[in-house]
Structure 1
């Protein structure tokens, strides 16, 4: 999952970014509405965590633009406003969720995962492909009933592959969704992580390398 944090309080933005990264959620930060619109225009974010009261383009206008121009991106309003009228207004703009400050990071993480699980086309809460089973909420993965001890990046890569349901996921997509904007575009991190994921999954290997295209899940043993 990749998230954009729109927050003008630097300490808050940095704390949220660090906390989400610890949960294997790639997070970029921006401090104003104009920057938010620029980022959303060039990056494929799953969720925008949006403070309403930000410099530049107001958060309400950012929300309306994201809802109109990027229907696949969810918006979670994050604000100090606690009045019911403020919440109603936020939802009226098309926001998918609303969280008031102060809040616990654990609650934000749960809400983000709930939003990511509800894209425009519905997906099941627990993902299954062949003998693989992955529960994004509990952060648990199994193969043939065997619990898989996966590092955070390995889990995130496996989740992307399972959501693709046999479709090809490019290394560029892995880099965009699992890492963040600070990642070197020429890094070998996706390839290395896929390699370590394969070892963690065990034999027969369910990950298929598609030359020049990326990776996908196939029948055990790497066959289509």
Structure 2
């Protein structure tokens, strides 16, 4: 009887956890010494779409990700082409060149209290500060591991342990001597229902093999 009750509790709890996960869109801007790029994330359960725009707001690329099935598609809107990236898990514990420090420093960003996590790699002459907020961003930890197969934009973040539910509202990249290299800034977070159509590949797009 006890096992039956426990099974009912587990069954009814699972959808609640899923419903409490973030669904909506996140708009970001990436500023480097040489260029400016805009990103929009669309999140619905285990599906994430990342749209990339150039400095003139022209749509240049989309990435579709299924976080549960480890499926990644990179799409070229201008050429109407797409390709699949094969997911290969990596063991980050072998790389000892990264130094991670979770500080108590706080900063208010778009009305949210963020904590500073710093990751340093002397060999790469780089230190990155992630100003993170903890909420319902449970998708992000897995998203990082998949996105790094495409462009390694969150290579340093992947070296941090226990990141479930956290999301960086500001990312500051500097040299070891503190010279600015780049920034990734969250401009807007919208909690809203996202249509499943956002994660479909148009029927007239052609698949190409990598």
Q: Say yes or no: TM over 0.5.
A: no
After TM superposition, the score normalised by the length of structure 2 is 0.27
> Would you tell me which structure has more helix in proportion to its own residues?
1
TM-score, structure 1 length as denominator? 0.26
Pick 1 or 2: higher relative contact order, CA cutoff 8 A, min separation 6. 2
